[in-house]
Structure 1
Amino acid sequence: MARYFRSSNLASRIFDRQLISPLPGATVNTIRQFYENLVPSYTIYDIDCPDYSFRKFTDDGKYLVAFSRNHQDLIVYRPIWFTYSCNEECETHELPPKAKKFDSFFKQLYSIPLASSNEYICKDFFLYMECHRFGLFATSTAQSNESTATEGAIHGVPLIEKITFHLVRLEDGVILDEKAFCNDFINLAHSIGAYMYEDLLCIVSLRYQTIHILQIRDSGNLVEVRNIGAFCREDDELFLHSHIQVYANLSTVTLLDFMYLRLGLHFLGVHYCTH
């Protein structure tokens, strides 16, 4: 069996990229192999950096997501990439003063207010689609451990007055749609309470033990597809209600038949005894 040996030469890798197609699902990993040939060898300290809370890069490296310190605004940057380079050891060269500025490496695309006055952005929550068109962010009010008894809610689970999911177009920062959950509890830390697969979004409500499945349309709308909780299918509640109604009617008919039978036997002079 022939075995393929991957070359570490950059020119050879570019040549192989033109001739060899990557395996299905391995395109991103194949592209990332080129970073092995670009090794940073110099670190710049004391960068003039904005006072923001930086969250993460998207996996394609096009967007850097950050939040304001008061957790009210969303700020998105685009890397400018290679601005300064040298062929020899960089420690022997003096970089220009501009190289120590954050703006020399990143360009701010937009800054938009995402949370209201009594809400805060969850800095640990950020999901995006594989096409990198839309990003999902979450805002919420303060958590309360004194939850009131509500029908269908689990006792002892904390309460958040309002949780809002915002669907943002990453290219220009337009908020396309929002989905709010009131008096509920969803674990937003590290995006545990939500999962995105292709165009489907699943949100887990711990307080009501319900999975909300939504679809992200190409237009940027969040459309509710199904809720899995006390009922799994859309017609489960109707099915159970109809059967309960049938049994109730049967019980009523049986009781009436017994009363009419006993009354008729009484008029006929027949003694009917029940034990």
Structure 2
Amino acid sequence: MDPLNSHTYLRRDKSFNLFHLLTDRELGIDRRHYIHRRPSKNFCVDFFKCIPPNLTIANVEKHTNFIRKFSPDGKFLICFSRDQQSFESYKFLGTTNACKMLYKWKSEYVPPDCNTGLGHEIRQNIFSQLFQLHWSIQLTSTFMRALYREFSIFTEDGKYIIIASHMPIQEEHLPSYYTLNSIGRMHFEYDLFWYRFYMVRLSDGAVSDTIEFPYDFIKLSHNHGVTLRRNLMVVVSLFHQTINILKLCNGKFIRSNTIGRYPHGTDECICKHVPEYENCCQMLDTGNNGLKQKILIFLYRKVLNFQDEKRTEMIQLFYRRLFIYEAMQIYKLQFLDPDHLLIRYDLHKHPNVQTTELHKLFVVYNLVDNEIVRVSAENASDLLLYFVYYCDYFRDVRSIFTGRAPSSSSNNVQIRYAQMRIINAFPRGYFDAAYRLLPQIPLSVQSYSVSPFLDLNVFQYDTQMVSALERPRYSNCQPIRFNDRETNLLLYRMYLGIFDQENKDKHNLLMPGGPKELIAYVFHPYEPFFISVQKIGNRYVTNFHIRNEGTIVKR
């Protein structure tokens, strides 16, 4: 056997030496030893193996605030004050600013109970070494109105950030006149709030514009009820069942259109010229709104395309499901492109509707022509295939540093094979898998991290514990191992929460014997640094994971 073609030689031929990678990039040699005329973006992938965040600093001493996320360019860290009245921005100074202080620390973990020596100095000063307060503004002055700390959206140019505040409305203060756009509004089960959105300029913290949505319910958790594409922002009103389209121009909110009761904004002006319209009380209007009526027309015309006996059967099915369609409500939406919206209708609790036949509808709506393009049921296998093979178009997020999208079934073979195994494991294949996978769409805007240290084409790790999706997860008592995808060699470990390194067991100093804790991650867009925030009882423990040249990773 030729030793140069053996598997052992190929494993040893992979170099994590930074000097070797710089030489290969200068010569135009890629990771598979092919020569190119010019370096490609794939050259930067291997560089992240040389600079992993191999040091965990537990229970960092910092200001009492809620950390939200980094700006898309990685220059600022966005935070909310503890009382949720103020909004703060910290300038990120870079991981190299703390190299001198961290270099003498050789271990992979700085324990939380280290109150003397170098460990205590690191825990006490690491925040000030990495971050500097840029500005802080107070947006609310009453305890009734609070900032929603789980909502924040950056504009596409990265110059502004959109945040929101909400104030509960007491039932006795509600006006007697509402615009009810659907029969389902008679059975609304949520409390109403007065919402206010702020457009804040990142450079100086100035509030350039505000817009309000009174007496409404908008689901803001994890950017759920708001989506953005280019200069268009869409706010979904669950109470009024309307889609509010706003244009963002030079830091200003401009109301463009409202889809719901009327399919187009000009329809209301036309209806006002009808004499009967002025005497019509909208409170008593319990019929379908304009958008729902368009969906019903589209479904009925689709039924008429069938032939003979099949047509009769489908017409009967349409009328049998008609009361289900009427009871469905808009739940969530997202942009597919600047001209098309993917809207999801859900069947919520309704006193007159009890069925297990249909619970969701996925509608593609054209904003330019104001027409329904497609309506799919919750078991549509073709929509499932679109989501599996074109997942990057649904997420619509890319790194401004590498130009790469987060790992998904569109760009990663391992994720695609895993999803195909899940699909094939169901008795009826795609039909049953659609019930399982399609409820996760539409996707929330800006909810995926573009950190290169989560790239599954480069690193191998437990995706159940950490992933590009920015959602809290349950912490584990064991550190998360990050291995090289090609050689399976350990690159670094990530210790979660308060950990006893010597006993290799979870060591909770704040609440012994407590339940499983939730942990959230905040990843920097490109530097070897990210933050984990762990909730233990009523307290939040912040851990830093950073690159340290002096740390020795024991394999």
TM-score, normalisation: structure 1: 0.72
Matches for 1:147-186 after TM superposition, within 5 Å: 150-153=177-180, 154-157=185-188, 158-186=190-218
Q: SS at the partner of 1:232?
A: coil
Residue 252 of structure 1 is matched in structure 2 by none
- What amino acid sits opposite 2:224 in the alignment? I
2:209 equivalent to 1:190:
no
Matched, 1:19 2:38: yes
Q: In the alignment, is residue 114 of structure 1 matched against residue 139 of structure 2?
A: yes
| Map of 1:235 onto structure 2 | 266
Check conservation: 1:73, 1:115, Cα contact below 8 A.
yes
Q: Superposed, which structure 2 residues align to 1:67-82 within 5 Å?
A: 67-81=80-94, 82=96
Residues 225-249 of structure 1: CA distance to partner in whole angstroms, max 9, x if unpaired? Answer: 111111122332344455777xxxx
Partners of 1:78 and 1:31 in 2: how far apart? 25
3-state SS, counterpart of residue 264 of structure 2: coil
Quick one: higher RCO (CA 8 Å, sep 6+), 1 or 2?
A: 2
8 Å Cα contact 1:204/1:211 also seen in 2: yes
Structure 1 residues 35, 173: CA separation in 2 closer, same or farther (over 3 Å shift)?
Answer: farther
Instruction: Give 2:22's aligned amino acid.
Output: A
Equivalent position amino acid for 2:266 in 1? D
Q: How does 1:100-139 map to 2 (within 5 A)?
A: 100-101=124-125, 102-117=127-142, 118-139=144-165
Partner of 2:450: none
Give the AA of the match of 1:151: Y
How far does residue 106 in structure 1 lie from its aligned partner after superposition?
Answer: 0.6
TM-score by length of 2: 0.38
Stretch deviating more after TM superposition (65-74 or 11-20): 11-20
Per the alignment, residue 90 of structure 1 pairs with 105
2:253 corresponds in structure 1 to 222
Unaligned runs of 5+ in 2: 1-13, 31-36, 108-116, 277-555
The answer to whether the Cα contact below 8 Å between 2:59 and 2:123 also exists between their aligned partners in 1 is no
- Cα distance, 1:133–1:34 mapped onto 2, change above 3 Å: farther
Deviation at 1:132, TM superposition (A): 1.1
| Equivalent residues of 1:73, 1:112 under 8 A apart | yes
Which moved further from structure 2: 120-129 or 57-66?
Answer: 57-66
Q: Which residue of 2 aligns with 1:141?
A: 167
- Tell me whether 1:64 sits opposite 2:64 in the alignment: no
Offset at residue 56 of structure 1 (A): 1.4
Q: Distance in 1 between matches of 2:75 and 2:44?
A: 14
Matched residue SS, 2:228 = strand
Q: Which residue of 1 aligns with 2:536?
A: none
Aligned amino acid, residue 90 of structure 1: W
Q: 1:224 to 1:108 in 2, by over 3 A?
A: same
Task: Report how many residues are paired.
Answer: 233
Q: Secondary structure at the match of 1:39?
A: coil
Give the aligned residue type for 2:121.
P
- Are the aligned partners of 1:149 and 1:155 in contact in 2 as well (CA < 8 Å)? no
State the alpha-carbon separation in 2 of the partners of residues 176 and 188 from structure 1: 21
Query: Tell me, what secondary structure is at the counterpart of 1:104?
Result: helix
Give structure 1 stretches of 5+ with no counterpart. Answer: 1-5, 23-28, 246-275
Residues 29-38 or 79-88, more deviating:
29-38
Cα distance in 2 between the residues matched to 1:168 and 1:13? 44
Q: Distance in 2 between matches of 1:41 and 1:235?
A: 58
2:25–2:43 contact (8 Å) kept in structure 1: no
Tell me which amino acid in the other structure corresponds to 1:170: L
Structure 2 residue aligned with 1:249:
none
CA apart distance, 1:129: 1.5
Distance 2:46 2:237 in 1: 40
Counterpart pick for 2:58 among 41, 45, 69 = 45
**Shift of the alpha carbon at 1:45?**
3.4
Describe the SS at the equivalent of 1:110.
strand
Whole-angstrom CA distance in 2 between matches of 1:14 and 1:88: 28
**Counterparts in 2 of 1:160 and 1:239: CA distance versus 1, 3 Å:** same
In the alignment, is the contact (CA less than 8 A) between 1:161 and 1:182 conserved in 2?
Answer: yes
Cα offset, 1:41, TM superposition: 2.3
User: Closer, same or farther in 2 for the Cα pair 1:64/1:30, shift >3 Å?
Assistant: farther
Query: 2:254 & 2:45 partners in 1: Cα distance?
Result: 35
Percent of counterpart pairs with the same letter?
25
CA gap of 1:65–1:13, structure 2 versus 1, over 3 A, is farther
Structure 2 Cα separation of the partners of residues 31 and 166 of structure 1:
37
Tell me the secondary structure at the aligned position of residue 48 of structure 2: helix
